[in-house]
Amino acid sequence: MREYSIASIPADGIGPEVIAAGEVVLKSLEQRLGDVRFNFETFDWGSDHYKKHGVMMPADGLKTLKKFDAIYFGAVGAPDVPDHVTLWGLRLPICQGFDQYANVRPTKILPGITPPLRNCGPGDLDWVIIRENSEGEYAGAGGRVHRGLPEEVGTEVSIFTRVGVTRVMRYAFRLAQSRPRKLLTVVTKSNAQRHGMVMWDEIAAEVAQEFSDVTWDKMLVDAMTVRMTLKPQTLDTIVATNLHADVLSDLAGALAGSLGVAPTANIDPERRFPSMFEPIHGSAFDITGKGIANPVASFWTAAQMLDHLGEADASARLMKAVEQVTGAGVLTPDVGGTATTKEVTDAVVDAIHGSNV
Ligand code: NAD
Ligand code: MN
């Protein structure tokens, strides 16, 4: 029996709804496979914890999480707590504290889901976006609002280090190399941002020398939004900074049909710490409690978690079950269906137990 300890942090809004659904599905895989076990421990950290205790998670939160094999995360964000408090109080400290420097965001059009682009079918959009996840625009250092001056000044400081850029670039080239098309697009804004971004371009060219079988090109981030929309077939693996990839991957999620299906993995490739798996979307308080949150992103990120844990077979079974269910038209309203979170979850459980998965 292979056993994995998983820290669940459902947190806010629809986070608890989609993480509970993900746990149900992982437990059904456990039954189906028989030789693997997932031991979940749930932490009640998030905005309610903040309102009660003044902090999103306890001071020793990272110490508590360190012993787990993986972290399964919902979303943060509440209408009555500032977004920078929820983000910097929970999600970013985990990403940064555990040096999860590679944020991996696969996007493809799942069967049964109608994407918003005309002439763009499942085979036309199959990307993995790698977001630098430890520094850049979200380094959290140096910026402040200079109060008390006659004219207040707010500064945001981006930090790019040679070590930080090189390691994520190498990760991206390696991932591109592992995919059939062996194609990487490096995104910057090195025309306007002429320091850190120019260094990105230099490092990309250097790291490319180590991967002679990978075809790569460069794009400016603004032009990249156009290429993603008009020529999605020309892209495969994409690497960009923390901010640029944050924006591009929401666009990617929308082009694939909905943010509700878009997963993400915050990976420490050196495996010194647990990695964290979550849907891309936020707490979606407009639909919280209605039972209609799309659980597919949380299933897909669970599949990423299984891959990371070395359970490739379980991961493939889970994705096959998900694709069977979307393909059969069992869809939540965000992707044009009428099913509830529970109905989609039950259908995926059935597919996992079905003979052909
Ligand atoms: P959001 O992702 O929560 O929602 C955007 C839109 O997509 C909403 O209309 C929502 O209903 C819909 N949506 C998102 N996930 C869905 C799902 N699984 N099923 C069906 N529909 C879904 O983004 P927002 O509205 O900009 O932000 C809400 C809160 O979430 C804010 O407080 C924000 O700071 C926070 N947020 C957190 C994270 C995170 O925890 N990683 C990410 C983004 C936003
Ligand atoms: Mn985002």
C-alpha span between 336 and 104 (Å, rounded): 26
Contact 330, 344 (CB under 8 A): yes
> What dihedral do alpha carbons 70, 353, 17, 116 form, nearest 10°?
100
User: What pLDDT score was predicted for residue 355?
Assistant: 61
Does residue 225 carry a pLDDT above 80?
yes
Measured in Å, residue 196 CA sits from the centre of ligand 2 at 21
Is the CB of 331 inside a 6 Å radius of any atom of ligand 1? no
Tell me, using a 6 A CB cutoff, whether residue 313 lines ligand 1.
no
pLDDT band at 224 (very low <50, low <70, confident <90, very high): very high
Strand partners, 40: 6
Give buried/exposed letters for 232-264 (b at 16+ CB in 10 A, else e). beebbbbbbbbbbbbebbeebbbbbbbbbbbbb
Ligand nearest to the CA of residue 242, numbered in listed order? 2
Q: For ligand 1, is residue 91 a contact (CB within 6 Å)?
A: yes
219 HSE (CA, 13 A, CB side): 23
- The ligand 1 atom at the shortest distance from the C-alpha of residue 14 is 18
- Per-residue model confidence as pLDDT tens digits over 46-81: 999 999 999 999 999 999 999 999 999 999 999 999
Instruction: Work out which ligand 1 atom sits closest to the CA atom of 298.
Output: 18
Domain coordinates in residue numbering, the chain? 1-101+265-357, 115-256
Question: Is 281:287 a contact under the CB 8 Å cutoff?
Answer: no
110 CB under 6 A from ligand 1? no
**pLDDT one-digit tens code per residue, 156-208:** 999 999 999 999 999 999 999 999 999 999 999 998 888 999 999 999 999 99
| Residues near ligand 2 ion, CB 5 Å cutoff | 246
Average pLDDT on 252-276 reads: 95
Centre of ligand 2 from the C-alpha of residue 85, in Å: 15
C-beta of 282 in contact with ligand 1 (< 6 A):
yes
Task: Please answer whether residues 279 and 341 qualify as being in contact, where contact means their C-beta atoms are separated by less than 8 angstroms.
Answer: no
Superfamily of domain 115-256: Isopropylmalate Dehydrogenase (3.40.718.10)
Q: What is the mean pLDDT of residues 93-116?
A: 95
Average pLDDT, the chain: 95
Does 115-256 match 1-101+265-357 at the fold level?
yes
Dig out the tokens for 177 from the structure: 């190399």
Q: Which atom of ligand 1 approaches the CA of 261 most closely?
A: 18
Asked whether residue 321 carries a pLDDT value surpassing 60, the answer given is: yes
CATH architecture of 1-101+265-357: 3-Layer(aba) Sandwich (3.40)
- How does strand 215-220 pair with strand 183-188? parallel
21 lines ligand 1 (CB under 6 A): no
Q: What is the dihedral of CA 7, 10, 15, 21, to 10 degrees?
A: 60
Q: Which of 70, 56, 29 is nearest to 304 (CA)?
A: 70
Give the confidence band of 255 by pLDDT, cuts at 50, 70, 90.
Answer: very high
Measuring from atom 40 of ligand 1, which residue has the nearest CA?
A: 75
Q: At residue 85, does pLDDT exceed 70?
A: yes
